[in-house]
Amino acid sequence: MPTTEQAKKWYQGVDAIHDFSHIERVYRMAERLARSEGADLEIVHAAALLHDSRGTMPGSGERAEHHIASAVFAGEVLAEEGWPQERIAAVQHCIRAHRFRDKRERPETIEARVLFDADKLDVLGAVGVMRTIGYAVLAGQPAYVQPSQFFLATGQKEPGEPHSAYHEYLFKLCKIKDVLFTEAARAMAEERDAYLADFFVRFAAESRGEM
């Protein structure tokens, strides 16, 4: 198993959204879910430590394939540690299947579902506010722009419509609670989603000079 010190090195210089504090939170949450689901802890630990280890910079060209690149890197790290091939493959499956936007490989194993849920819980709640806003700021996007009726109806932006953090909430984050696999994660997600939704409601009201 890679040590925490080793893992920290993979995330040096990484943006604030996917830095080692994200890894630590996902690691802790994945461990908690793994215990309640009876998942293989070693697989889950390794997958949590390695799941964002390559190419996560917002707005960068490689971001769309960061789960693939991270799985390849995980294979190299674990092979060097002498892990058997089928356990390496189990970790790589977790990592390749953790990306919400990519439906090519869905989480099939309980370990992959645990990693998926732990990673997704980290975009909701107060941590979700920090990461969504931080991502928008780094990508040069505004925090809140009132979405067009067209976007609200279809999820597609009108020509020239900016992508704000609130658009990201409506496009992706508000659906997270419905795509989780484990009971425990779903229960936490309900409450964290409500907090994140309320943040944008408040933000809009304050921006209008209310409250």
What is the per-residue DSSP string for 27-59?
A: HHHHHHHHHHHT--HHHHHHHHHHTT-S---TT
- Rounded Cα gap, residues 207 and 195, in angstroms: 18
Shortest Å distance, C-beta 113 to a second copy? 18
Distance CA 180, CA 123 (A): 13
Residue with Cβ nearer a second copy (80 or 210): 210
Site residues for a second copy, 110-149, by CB under 8 A, read: 125-127, 129-130, 133-134, 136-138, 140, 142-144
Q: Which of the ranges 63-71, 86-94, 104-112, 193-201 carries the binding residues for a second copy, by CB under 8 A?
A: 193-201
Residue 199's nearest CA partner among 140, 143, 136 is 143
Of the pair 83, 116, the CB lying nearest a second copy is at: 116
CA distances from 197 to 33, 46, 167, 175, 192 (A): 24, 32, 12, 11, 9
Total number of residues that touch a second copy (CB under 8 A): 37
Minimum separation from the CB atom of position 178 to a second copy (A): 19
Interface with a second copy (CB under 8 A): 15-17, 19, 21, 24-25, 28-29, 32, 125-127, 129-130, 133-134, 136-138, 140, 142-144, 188, 191-192, 195, 199-200, 202-203, 206-209, 211
